[in-house]
Amino acid sequence: MSADTYLELVNGGVTGTLAKKLGLPRPTPLRRFTPGQALVDGPVLVLGPGKDADTLARYLSGTDDAGAGWDLDVRRHADEGTRFAAAVLVLTEVEHPQDLSAPLLALSAVLKTLARHGRIITVSRPARDDQAPALAAARQGVDGALRSLAKELRGGATGNGLVVADGVPVDAPAVLGGLRFLLSSRSAYVDGQLLAIDSEAGALPEDWDRPLAGRVAVVTGAARGIGAAIADTLARDGATVIAVDVPAAGEALTAVANRVGGTALQLDVTAKDAGERLLRHALDRHGRLDIVVHNAGITRDKLLANMTPEKWESVLAVNIAAQLRINEALLTSGELTDAPRIVSLASTSGIAGNRGQTNYAASKGGVIGMVRATAPLLAPFGGTANAVAPGFIETEMTARMPTLTRQVARRLSSLQQGGQPVDVAEAVAFLASPPAGGIVGQVLRVCGQAMVGR
């Protein structure tokens, strides 16, 4: 991977001062998670009227028995001079757009002193076509306000939201798990996103540091890059990992498997019996299979006018057809019955498109459609299917881009830098965790709020 030299320079002494004088973009190096790190470094402001705000304030402060162990310094008012590490706006009870004024204007008073790497999180309800116009307007207004605010934040701070379905309490596992993920530095490169929570399903872990303890996970394309980071992160969170990649990557694959204390399986995911072989390996070596991460993917970029059948078909075969075939084998096996999780790697290209990537975008758009349709099939077992859509991530693939193109791509996001493979891995680990059981058929973008798509 190539280093972001510009990011290093504008945060240096003399060059940083010069960049400031010239008015150049000065992205802040992001704080990423390390074991033992505090959830937040400073007070947390909880704003909003009504019982939902009270419930979350009690939970975050640890005064609610269920929230024991969080023990955050929670404030309910924006005290002048306080440097807040995070602010949670609980907007579940708004009924008219004017109801947004008080909490958002109260938040405005603390934004200038928000701590570096601060977090702004909204908790709201979804707008629907069958609602009264004023109610739908208020709820949809949260979306626009949050996405705009996220573009105003500086110093590595991010703004994200949880959209909680009507009837789902704000202390449901997926709400609390989502809140913890977004508050933490695990979500360093997630910005300007609203994650829908559809049900009360899921469970809070006994140990938030090892939420995947006792679970067995398969990660395809695990020999390097994002796949290797996913294997590392799932293992850190307690999972036993089966690392999968093609035979040609055997040496690197074995190294990853040994590093995470898992097992390696050399397998071409496009093989017709790939699903059966994955399952057989998991059952024979580990006795179960709980999590499937479809990370394996390829690019064969060409303008459609110059596209060859081989380039088109190979991308579709690896990136989507293999996932469909493997999922069918697993879902019909009768073995995925204990709150299974399927997490697939999509892409912002599959959402917004990208020049020269019609084949790749078709495959990644296909992934998004696939998880939405697969999620209901897993629901009877307490399972979920979701996708993570990375934006510009610093990998071997992006390192091969032309220098100018790479620099432009890095700056075209609110955080003005590329993400790291671990950023994608953290999102995958969250969606694979027990608390995420109420998140179904969703796409979580990990793109630093890229200026493409939503």
pLDDT tens track for 366-387: 999 999 999 999 999 999 999 9
Distance CA 66, CA 90 (A): 19
Section 280-302 average pLDDT:
96
Distance CA 242, CA 228 (A): 11
Q: What is the pLDDT of residues 261-277, one digit of tens each?
A: 999 999 999 999 999 99
| Residue 266, beta-bridge partner list | 245
- Residue 204 pLDDT: 95
- Residue 3 pLDDT: 76
- Residue 258 pLDDT: 98
Higher pLDDT, 81 or 430: 430
Q: What is the pLDDT of residues 170-199, one digit of tens each?
A: 999 999 999 999 999 999 999 999 999 999
Section 297-304 average pLDDT:
91
- Residue 400 pLDDT: 75
Instruction: Report whether pLDDT(453) > 60.
Output: no
DSSP string, 438-452: G--S-EEEESSSBSS
Distance CA 437, CA 175 (A): 10
Section 79-88 average pLDDT:
91
Section 391-400 average pLDDT:
82
pTM beyond 0.85, yes or no: yes
- Residue 436 pLDDT: 98
Q: Are 342 and 372 in contact (CB under 8 A)?
A: no
Architecture of domain 39-197: 3-Layer(aba) Sandwich (3.40)
Instruction: Report whether pLDDT(339) > 90.
Output: yes
Q: What is the pLDDT of residues 325-335, one digit of tens each?
A: 999 999 999 99
Catalytic positions? 360
Residue the block writes with tokens 């996103």: 193
In the chain, which segments carry CATH 3.40.50.720?
39-197, 216-446
Structure confidence at residue 1 as a pLDDT band (50, 70, 90): low
Query: Which amino acid is it at 66?
Result: A
Pairing of strands 194-197, 216-220: unpaired
Which stretch of DSSP H or E encloses residue 385? strand 384-390
CATH 3.40.50.12780 fits 216-446, yes or no: no
Helix, coil or strand: residue 269: coil
Residue the block writes with tokens 């802040």: 28
- Residue 2 pLDDT: 65
Q: Are 119 and 158 in contact (CB under 8 A)?
A: yes
Q: Are 195 and 162 in contact (CB under 8 A)?
A: yes
- Residue 454 pLDDT: 55
First to last CA, the chain: 27
Distances (CA, A) of 312 to 22, 305, 316, 325, 357: 45, 12, 7, 18, 10
Q: What angle do CA 318, 322, 326 make, to 5 degrees?
A: 155
Residue 324: other Cβ atoms inside 10 A = 16
What average pLDDT is seen over the chain? 93
Q: What is the pLDDT of residues 8-64, one digit of tens each?
A: 777 877 676 676 777 777 889 999 999 999 999 999 999 998 899 999 999 999 876
Q: What is the pLDDT of residues 409-441, one digit of tens each?
A: 788 889 999 999 999 999 999 999 999 999 999
Distance CA 216, CA 422 (A): 20
3-state secondary structure string across 367-381: HHHHHHHHHHHHHHH
Query: Which amino acid is it at 250?
Result: G
> How long is the chain?
454
Query: Which amino acid is it at 6?
Result: Y
Distance CA 362, CA 141 (A): 31
Q: What is the pLDDT of residues 203-229, one digit of tens each?
A: 999 999 999 999 999 999 999 999 999
Instruction: Report whether pLDDT(407) > 80.
Output: no
